Structures are given as C-alpha cells and as structure tokens.
C-alpha cells in the first residue's frame, strides 16, 4: 500500500483565520504563491510535502493537523 498526503483545505483556512493571518502573510512566510494558497484552501489544488511542512510551520501546527492521509493500493 502507498500512502499519499493531501492538504486538508478547511483545516488550513480555519487555523489561518484563527491566527488572524491573511493569505498574503501566509504566502510571505511560506514562499507559496497567494493565489495557489487560495486554491488549496478551496480544495482546488494541492501542496507538495515541502510546502505542507512550510504551511504547517507558519500556522504553528504539525503537518498531520492540516493533511488527510489516504491509502492507495
């Protein structure tokens, strides 16, 4: 079995808003384009492992708090 990880859109947005952090600020902290982060939060785009870690660090949570884990045969 292969385990893939994808961002949990609502968890990212919820945490960002709880911190009163703008998309622009999250973008500046992570190096991820603001438009791409917006698409991630709406569930329209994904993030690679490195960017998941960057976003989690910027939000002050472990990567597992902002991802879904899925098993693929």
DSSP state string for the chain: -EEEEEE-HHHHHHHHHHTT--HHHHHHHH---HHHHHHHHTTS----HHHHHHHHHHHTS-GGGGEEEEEE-
Using the CB atoms, write b or e for 5-42: b if 16+ within 10 Å: bebbbebbbebbeeeeeebeebbeebebeeebbeebbe
Candidate from 13-22, 25-34, 48-57, 61-70 with smallest mean pLDDT: 61-70
- 1 pLDDT higher than 70: no
Task: Give the model confidence (pLDDT) of 16-49 as tens digits.
Answer: 999 999 999 999 999 999 999 999 999 999 898 8
Kindly report the pTM of this predicted structure: 0.85
Q: Kindly state the percentage of the chain with pLDDT values over 70.
A: 86
């Amino acid at each position: 079995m292969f385990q893939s990880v994808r961002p949990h859109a609502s968890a990212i947005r919820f945490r960002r808003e709880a911190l009163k952090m703008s998309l622009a600020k999250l973008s500046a902290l992570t190096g991820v384009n603001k438009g791409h982060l917006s698409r991630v939060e709406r569930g329209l785009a994904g993030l690679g492992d490195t960017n998941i870690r960057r976003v989690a660090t910027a939000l002050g949570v472990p990567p597992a708090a902002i991802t879904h884990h899925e098993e693929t045969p």
